Structures are given as C-alpha cells and as structure tokens.
Amino acid sequence: MIRSMTSFASADSEGAWGALSVELRSVNHRYLELAVRLPEELRGLEPAIRERIGARLSRGKIDFGLRHKRSEGATALTLDETVVTRLADVHRDLGARFPGLHTELTALLGWPGVLVEQGVDQDGLREAALALVDTALDEFVAAREREGARLAAFLRERLDGITALVASVRGHLPEVRAALRSRFDARIADLKQPLEPGRIEQEVVLQLQRIDVDEELDRLTAHLAEAHRVLGLREAVGRRLDFLMQEFNREANTLGSKAADPRTTQAAVELKVLIEQMREQVQNLE
C-alpha cells in the first residue's frame, strides 16, 4: 500500500481519570525518527508507545504527543481516621497538662497523613491511554494511505506519459536511420575521389551505433514495468521507487546524448521533466 510520509491525526477521550488527547504529526525523513512527549504520570508508557508506532510505520520523522488533564472529581481528599484519632488523643493529653491550650484547625489539617489524596486508577488510565494511541494510529495510517493513493495516481499518470514518449521515439527511429543514410549518400556523391568498396557501409554502421537508442528504450520499458509492479505492492516502497527514479534519469540522459534529430532531443527533455516531477513526489512516500 502506497503511503505518504506527511500526515496528521488526533484523538480524544474522557473518563473517570479525566481527559486524554493524542496528536501525531510526520514529515519526510530517510528513516523512522520518533519524538515522544508524555505527561509525568504516563512516562512509563513510552516503550509500549514506541513499539506500537514502530510496528505500524517504517519511515518519517514522527512527532507524538499525549496530554492528560484530570477531571475535577478524579482527585478527592479524605481524612485518615486513624491519624485523626491519634491526634485527638494527643491533643486531649496536652490539654490536661496545659489548660487553655488552643490548636488551629489548619494546623491539624496540615499534619502529615491527616489528609489523604485519592488518586486516579493508574491501571485504567494506562489502558485508556494505550487504547487512544491505537485509535490515533489507525487514523494516522489511514490518512497516510489516502494521501499515498493520490500520489500513486500522480505517479501512474507520469509513467503513462513516459510510455507514450518511449513509443514515440521508437516510432520515428526507422526514419532517423533512413535520413542518416541519405545524408551519407549525399556527402559521398560530392566527393571527387572514389571510396574503397564497403567503406560507406562501414561508416553508416558506425554512425548508427553511435545514435542507437534501442537499448536505452528497452531499459526504460523495463523500468516502467517495474515501477507499475512496485506501485502495486502492499508494503513500504519509497526507497525502491527512489532508486528507480535514478535509473530512469540515467537512461533519459543517455537518450539525450545520443539524440540524432530534434524529436529525440525534445523527447529526452520531456522525459527528464516527467522523471523530476516523479522524483519530487517519491520523496514523500514511506
């Protein structure tokens, strides 16, 4: 499946533990580079999150962020009855020894252990966070695939353009060869000295070899078939297509250097334009 490396996705959820939100952003990168930002209470989830992302993505610079906001009822303060009873006993004993002793309520509440904070269910919070990560990843991958489908259509359109150019060059090759032979015949006719038998044929063969582009056209045809095959694979294909673009460009350059008429030169230029357009888009593929 063709996927773009540029994408964005987010997901949110709420529960007894509060509100969770996840964001995923990515841009092009040669390899998979992952930056993870987590709240302190969920820091221990980083290995599991990295494993989940690594199992779904193979390339791109990924920025992952998870935020947690506790709800108002998620944290409650209660009295530790045991501590309060002990403090009352101590206060009574001290009151008997020191008549008129007064103790401020705020001082009692500030005594260590009097107020107990009832925290959120950490196991439930972690499970909810990982479930939300999976949801965001599903949307993130789907967004990459949607953009990848658009890029694949763009690439196939350019491949069809290259196919048409290759067919066009093949079509006028016989005419180019005939014109070359005619030029040689005209030049020989202008010579006053007779040539050795077979010399004309030798010169024609040498010139035809210099302008022969059949091999380049055959390789371009093979590259076209391979590109169509790769676009149909259900795996990351960005690196393969990037290599193919280099091969396409090499053949287009050779075709231009061997061009023996303006039509072949123009075809080589148009080939390079199409290949460059494809190369730019291939850089976006996973």
Give the pLDDT band (50/70/90) at residue 204: low
The predicted pLDDT at position 98 comes to 73
The predicted pLDDT at position 285 comes to 93
Q: What value does the mean pLDDT take over residues 159-169?
A: 94
pLDDT above 80: residue 207: no
The predicted pLDDT at position 255 comes to 86
The rounded distance, in Å, linking the Cα atoms of 176 and 195 is: 24
Q: Which residue has the higher pLDDT, 54 or 207?
A: 54
The predicted pLDDT at position 190 comes to 60
Min mean pLDDT across 78-92, 117-131, 266-280 is at: 78-92
The predicted pLDDT at position 210 comes to 59
The predicted pLDDT at position 198 comes to 60
Average pLDDT taken over every residue of the chain? 83
Q: What value does the mean pLDDT take over residues 175-199?
A: 61
Q: What value does the mean pLDDT take over residues 121-138?
A: 91
* CATH fold label, 7-72+121-141: Ribosomal Protein S5; domain 2 (3.30.230)
| pTM listed for this prediction | 0.70
User: What residues does each domain of the chain span?
Assistant: 7-72+121-141, 76-118, 146-282
Distance of CA 98 to the CA centre of its chain: 76
The rounded distance, in Å, linking the Cα atoms of 34 and 201 is: 65
The predicted pLDDT at position 259 comes to 75
pLDDT tens sequence across 55-64? 999 999 999 9
pLDDT tens sequence across 74-97? 555 566 778 778 777 777 777 777
Name 179's Cβ contacts closer than 8 Å, sequence gap at least 6: 261
